Amino acid sequence: MHIRVMVVDDQAVVRAGFAAIVDAEPDLSVVGEAADGATAVALAEQEAPDVVLMDIRMPGMDGLTAARLITALDSRPRVLVLTTFDLDAYVYEALRAGSSGFLLKDALPEDVLSAIRVVASGDGILAPAVTRRLISAFAHGAPLPPTITGALERLTAREREVLVLIASGLTNAEIGLQLGVTTGTVKSHVNALLTKLALRDRVQATILAYETGLIRPRTAGAG
């Protein structure tokens, strides 16, 4: 599978750096670069990239607005947010905007490349530090959208259990170890719950788990 990538950042040096990292990989190629959200949306519509590396803070249209518009395109590009800003509000809003992942710009090149491949394959990814901040935001009363009434009633008891573990940041292998089942069985449960809830990936599943109140982090010692 060859993955077509677009790089969006208002800093030319940053764009060039990410483009060089991506183009050095045999299965990846950069099909476009943009310095602002409006240009990114137009270019994404023209080039139909598989993955868009998206900065958040840019002049004019910001990355959150651009992500929302890009993920709504017919070609359904997937957005991987890369930013120096790790504030709770940015994390949550980027995910609500339809992004499939969130990494900080100080991530190692190999982590960025891995994230691109994960997102392109149809899954979502959150850096561990980002997951902790997201959980902390909910623990301290970050505003939540309206509860999705009855969404969880379609799940079996085991699927609900798997959803809680996904929202806790565990991988399929870790979930399997905790539940005493194979990774393949966990994957089947994950696919089933995503289908029943009409969710795109694990990132959306994590958001849903918090929005519905299925999981609430401990406030004691949070930080």
pLDDT bin (cut points 50, 70, 90) of residue 143 is very low
pLDDT at residue 149 in the model: 43
Lowest mean pLDDT among 44-48, 143-147, 168-172, 176-180: 143-147
Specify the amino acid at residue 54. M
- Contact criterion met (CB below 8 Å) for 204 and 124: yes
Q: How is residue 72 written in tokens?
A: 């709504």
Mean residue pLDDT across the chain:
81
Q: Is the pLDDT of residue 137 over 70?
A: no
What does DSSP say about strands 125-126 and 101-104: parallel, antiparallel, or unpaired? parallel
From CA 51, how far away is CA 161, in angstroms rounded? 31
From CA 215, how far away is CA 192, in angstroms rounded? 19
Q: Is the pLDDT of residue 131 over 70?
A: no
H or E segment at 213? none
pLDDT at residue 179 in the model: 94
From CA 172, how far away is CA 194, in angstroms rounded? 14
pLDDT bin (cut points 50, 70, 90) of residue 92 is low
pLDDT bin (cut points 50, 70, 90) of residue 28 is very high
What does DSSP say about strands 101-104 and 78-83: parallel, antiparallel, or unpaired? parallel
pLDDT bin (cut points 50, 70, 90) of residue 81 is confident
Enter the pTM of the model: 0.65
Candidate ranges 70-84, 93-107, 160-174, 178-192; pick with highest mean pLDDT: 178-192
pLDDT at residue 124 in the model: 67
pLDDT at residue 221 in the model: 37
**Residues contacting 191, CB < 8 A, separation 6+:** none
Q: Which of 109, 112, 144 lies closest to 127, judged by CA?
A: 112
pLDDT at residue 223 in the model: 35
Candidate ranges 8-12, 142-146, 166-170; pick with highest mean pLDDT: 8-12
pLDDT at residue 144 in the model: 41
- Mean pLDDT within 24-38: 95
